[in-house]
């Protein structure tokens, strides 16, 4: 076994933890993460690398700017801390659209397609990336129709009004459901704010810090029966050293 990782003295060592808790079936190992606990050699802490993650996998620059502006209205920067833009939410959404989620890869997309009742859920044939393409174009169209300006050139409350028209199905779009798109945009914005930073959002764990969420901790056994206490957050990357 290799040495304990010295870089994260404050966190409970995963390897030590498992060793101490013991975990066997009469001599027969039933699993355990022991075998996978060889340090993977992540970059040293003080190396200030560029964030190579912040580039586009799917959006055009124009689409990216619309998403950045719209998500900032959903989760704005304020006295608590950064908004969606500074948290990297638009990058997060871009990256998500380029993978399984954008392709609806693990969802049933077989024909025939029929219009269903609301309680039957999404019945469209379009994938999320198609829905985004159409919706972002329609946001721009609606913005031009109402204000004769690009969405990204509008003032905050004007952008809100455009988004509210989508939320309330008050725009005339037939290929997608405007409110369905808005709900998806809202959900994926919160995902970008609060998911582990490994996905490109929640930059610097600031989403978690604003709500005093400790992120990924190995154990709360020592505090579960105590009153609320702020705990310094850590992300999944922290486990890689163990």
Partner 1 sequence: MRKLPKVDVVIVGVGWAGGIIASELTKQGLQVVGLERGKERKTEDYFMVHDELRYALRYDLMQDLSKETITFRGNEKVRALPMRQYGSFLLGDGLGGSGVHWNGQTFRFLPYDFEIRSKTIEKYGKNKIPAEMTLQDWGITYDQLEPYYDKFEKTTGISGEENPLGGKRSDKYPNPPMKKSPAMKMFEDATKKMNLHPYMMPSANLSQSYKNPDGIERAACQYCAYCERFGCEYGAKADPVVTVIPVAKKTGKFEIRTHSIVRRILKTGNKVTGVMYTDVTTGEEIEQPADIVVLTSYVFNNLRLLLMSNIGKPYNPVSGTGVIGKNYAYQVIKGNAVGFFNNKEFNTFAGAGALGVTLDDYNGDNFDHSNLDFIHGGIVSYTQTGMRPIQNNAVPGGGPTWGKEFKDKSLKYANRYLAVAAQGSSMPFKHHYLDLDPTYKDAYGDPLIRITFDFENQDRNLATFLAGKCADILKEMGADHIDSLKELGPYDITTYQSTHNTGGIIMGADPQTSAVNNYLQMWDVDNLFVVGASAFSHNSGYNPTDTVGALAYRAAEGIMKYHDKGGQVV
| Residues near partner 1 (CB under 8 A), total | 75
Cis peptide before 112 (omega within 30 of 0): yes
Piece of 32-40, 43-51, 61-69, 170-178 that binds partner 1 (CB under 8 A) = 32-40
Contact of 200 with 88, CB cutoff 8 Å = yes
Could you tell me the two tokens for 206? Answer: 């600031």
Q: Is 39 in the site for partner 1 (CB under 8 A)?
A: no
* Interaction residues for partner 1, span 134-153 (CB under 8 A): none
Site residues for partner 1, window 65-94 (CB under 8 A)?
A: 73-76, 78, 80, 83
Q: What is the separation of C-alpha 223 from the centre of its chain, rounded to a whole number of angstroms?
A: 28
**Touching partner 1, residues 155-174 (CB under 8 A):** 160, 163
Instruction: Please tell me whether residue 28 binds partner 1 under the rule CB under 8 A.
Output: yes
Q: Interface with partner 1 includes 122 (CB under 8 A)?
A: yes
* 16 binds partner 1 per the rule CB under 8 A: no
Using CB under 8 A as the binding rule, the residues of this chain from 177 to 196 that contact partner 1 are 186, 189-191, 194-196
Contacts 24+ apart (CB under 8 A), 49-57: 53/91, 53/95, 53/200, 54/88, 54/91, 54/200, 56/91, 56/94, 57/94, 57/95, 57/97, 57/98
Output 149 or 211, the one with its CB closest to partner 1: 211
């Amino acid at each position: 076994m290799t040495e304990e990782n010295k870089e994260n003295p404050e966190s409970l060592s995963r390897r030590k933890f498992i060793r101490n808790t013991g975990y066997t079936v009469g001599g027969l190992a039933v699993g355990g993460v022991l075998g996978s606990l060889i340090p993977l050699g992540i970059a040293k802490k003080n190396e200030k690398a560029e964030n190579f993650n912040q580039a586009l996998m799917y959006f055009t620059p124009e689409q990216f700017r619309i998403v950045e502006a719209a998500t900032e209205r959903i989760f704005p920067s304020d006295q608590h801390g950064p908004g969606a833009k500074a948290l990297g939410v638009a990058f997060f959404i871009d990256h998500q659209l380029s993978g399984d989620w954008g392709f609806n890869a693990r969802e049933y997309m077989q024909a025939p397609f029929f219009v269903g009742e609301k309680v039957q859920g999404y019945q469209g044939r379009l994938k999320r990336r198609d829905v985004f393409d159409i919706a972002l174009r329609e946001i721009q169209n609606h913005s031009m129709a109402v204000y004769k300006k690009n969405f990204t050139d509008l003032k905050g409350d004007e952008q809100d009004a455009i988004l509210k028209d989508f939320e309330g199905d008050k725009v005339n779009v037939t290929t997608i459901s405007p409110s369905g798109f808005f709900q998806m945009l809202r959900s994926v914005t919160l995902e970008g704010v609060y998911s582990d930073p490994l996905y490109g959002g929640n930059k610097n764990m600031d989403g978690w810090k604003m709500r005093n969420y400790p992120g990924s901790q190995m154990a709360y056994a020592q505090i579960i029966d105590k009153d609320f206490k702020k705990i310094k957050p850590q992300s999944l990357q922290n486990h890689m050293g163990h």
